[in-house]
Amino acid sequence: MESKLQGKVIVGLGDSLMYGAHLERNEPWLALMGEKHGMEWHNHGVSGSSCATSDIVKCRPLWIRLRDEINYPHVDYFVIQGGANDCCHNVPIGSDTDNLNDREDTVDEVPTFKGALNYMINTVKFRWPGVRLLMMTNYNRKVRVSKTGHLDEEYVYAMLELARYRGVPCIDNYHGVGIDLRTPELAGTVTDYGWAATKDNHISPAGNRFLLPIYEQALLKLNEPEDPLKGKTIIGLGDSLMYGYRLERDQPWIALLGEKHRMDWHNYGKNGRPAASAAEKGDKVIWKLLRTEITAEKHPHVDYFVIQGGANDRRFDTPPGDVTDNLNDHDDVPAEIPTFSGAINYMINTVKSRWPGAKLLLLTNYKRRTELSPSGVSDEDYVNAMLAVAKYRGVPVLDCFHDIGLDIRNPAEVGTKTDYEWAEAHEGHLSPAAYRWLTPIFEKKLLEI
């Protein structure tokens, strides 16, 4: 059967580790891959190249070589590898948003490592729509510290972070391929240096043969059906049930979903906040959090926006309100929102105003408490108020109170068996097990909208 890579065009852009320092032209993994599958392969590795512009000018950085030198009419696979020389050239690591929208000729200098990666991702995707892009980190080969105080491994983590932020597949050569190119004297232990490394800790012909099937599988995986959530940006806004009260950052459902699908996820859950204005809370309410902190400047693009609330509105006795409350308000209008329904309307309007096209999902409170507010309002009343606004506005909603089959009320209070023992963690909040149980439910709902 013909290989799925047969006859495809592959370009590799990188430094000496891509080029194959001290090797013959046909010995690096890219050449081996090309020959095995009858691919048209182009090795644009150059020894001494950093990804970003640096003060140490040995050769043109990767981003400039991509801009000026690589312009094939068609490319199926594009592999970017780098980081080693960014460390030794003292390139600042930068942030995930550096040069976030730059490509082609839109910029004259790219001074940070992450900025260069963003530029290259954008340019590759713009120049060859539909190309399958793969990034590769540096290897575990030297122990050195740049003049800016960064280790090789920090550039590895920086690339992995940026790849996750942008939803681009990335091979962790440093930790994940099972090859250690450090000298035993340097590492203080047995390494693969004797067979896998040449001088200067570069990869030997045997090392490249070892890596070939690993990279081959990575390229083939890029052909698998696209995950519709992969690389998407999702924001969750709510109270402690969104945040994950007393849990680790990676335990709430939004983190689990984000990690599973390599999404750019942001958890804006805040403990103790009602959706609507409450005198005791001042500016610490959910609708004001959206107004002031979750801006289009901070998040230029959002694919999914999830709003959850209602639990603390009972605590602070905010009126449930009517479906028409604050029906046309958004962004900087008004000064206060006294009803729960008004706050939901405001947040729907503001999300739609700031991120047209974002898929919006409302989540109700869970079945978790039996107390009433001072004015006699129950948790279920706020659930029903959200359901009514969602229906009136035509916004998707998941009824976590009635429809998902989770009851974390205390059995001693309700006189019946519930999920309290395994799903409740602290004071009516969800356990890690409950969030794991909920994740596929929320995943399915997001895919439906």
Residue 247 sits in a domain whose CATH number is: 3.40.50.1110
Do residue 279 and residue 195 come from a single domain?
Answer: no
Q: Which residues contact 376 (CB under 8 A, 6 or more apart)?
A: none
Residue 90 C-beta-side C-alpha neighbours within 13 Å: 6
Neighbours of 65 (CB within 10 A): 16
How many other β-carbons are positioned within 10 Å of the β-carbon of residue 7?
11
Give the three-state DSSP class for 151: strand
Residue numbers of the chain with a pLDDT score lower than 50: none
4 assigned to some structural domain: no
Residues across the chain = 449
Which among 194, 221, 248 is the end of a domain?
A: 221
CA distance 266 to 436: 18
Q: What is the pLDDT of residue 190?
A: 87
Dist. CA 346–CA 369, nearest whole Å: 27
Contact of 48 with 59, CB cutoff 8 Å: yes
> 228 in a domain, yes or no?
no
Closest CA to 30 of 20, 199, 4, 50: 20
**Do 142 and 238 lie in a common domain?**
no
Decide which of 221, 244, 263 is a domain's last residue: 221
Which residue is it, tokens 């205390």?
A: 410
* Residue 272 shares a structural domain with residue 189: no
The answer to whether 16 and 28 are in contact (CB under 8 A) is: no
Helices 340-354, 379-393: inter-axial angle, 10-degree rounding: 40
Q: What is the pTM of this model?
A: 0.59
226 located within any domain = no
Which of 190, 221, 252 terminates a domain? The answer is 221
> Are residues 61 and 55 in contact, defined by beta-carbon separation less than 8 angstroms?
no
> 16-35 b/e with 16+ CB inside 10 Å = b?
bbbbbbebeeebbbbbbbbe
Q: How many domains does the chain have?
A: 2
User: Does 194 lie in the same domain as 308?
Assistant: no
CA distance 28 to 202: 11
255 lies in a domain? Answer: yes
Residues 295 and 438 in one domain: yes
Q: In the sheet where 132-136 sits, what is the strand order?
A: 40-45, 9-14, 77-81, 132-136, 170-171
Give the pLDDT confidence of 299-316 residue by residue, as tens digits.
999 999 999 999 999 999
Query: Containing domain of residue 107, as a range?
Result: 9-221
Could you tell me if 307 and 186 lie in one domain?
no
Cβ pair 159, 135 in contact under 8 A: yes
Same domain, 179 and 256: no
**298 and 424 in a common domain:** yes
Q: Are residues 428 and 382 part of one domain?
A: yes
- Residue 313 within any structural domain of the chain: yes
CA distance 172 to 165: 15
Q: Is residue 41 part of a domain?
A: yes
Based on the domain organization, do 100 and 127 belong to the same domain? yes
pLDDT at 2: 73
Cβ neighbourhood burial of 298 (10 Å; 0-12, 13-18, 19+): exposed
Q: 86 and 111 share a domain?
A: yes
Residues 206, 278: one domain?
no
